[in-house]
Amino acid sequence: MALRRLGKACQEEVRVTIALKSGDVIERRFDAIVDDKIVVEFKVGSHIGKSEYEQMKEYLNISKYQLGLIILFSYKGVTQKRVLRPDGIYPPHHVDP
């Protein structure tokens, strides 16, 4: 990934297992985690829609991460949307990968 050439630590296709308060265990796959701080999701399409935004909000809410980036590749070029975790608190049910 090009971020590594810039000296950034980057993990790709990171699987995260989450134990929910209900006792259920779910697994999600983040496209990338940069510098162990930022969740990055890559999308292809015409725009960043509500479903992409909601997906990133879920990822932030179930993980320890505070910041997410949705990067969209479209016929118009590359755009990005920054998503912040609204509460700033780690969830008590997070299980580190």
Q: What is the CATH number of the domain that holds 29?
A: 3.90.320.10
CB contact set of 29 (below 8 Å; sequence gap of 6+):
13, 14, 15, 16
Q: Check pLDDT > 70 for residue 90.
A: no
Using pLDDT thresholds of 50, 70 and 90, give the confidence band for residue 6.
Answer: low
Dihedral of alpha carbons 17, 6, 3, 69, sign: positive
pLDDT at 64: 82
Q: What is the DSSP letter of 23?
A: S
Mean pLDDT value across residues 25-45: 91
Domain containing 7: what range?
Answer: 2-84
Question: Domain for residue 94, yes or no?
Answer: no
Domain presence at residue 93 = no
In a domain, 97, yes or no: no
- Count how many domains the chain has: 1
Match 């975790």 to its residue by tokens: 85
Give the start-end residues of each E strand in the chain: 10-19, 25-34, 38-44, 67-74, 77-84
pTM for the structure as a whole:
0.77
- The per-residue pLDDT for 8 is 67
Average pLDDT over the chain, rounded to an integer = 82
**Distance from C-alpha of 69 to C-alpha of 53, rounded to nearest angstrom:** 10
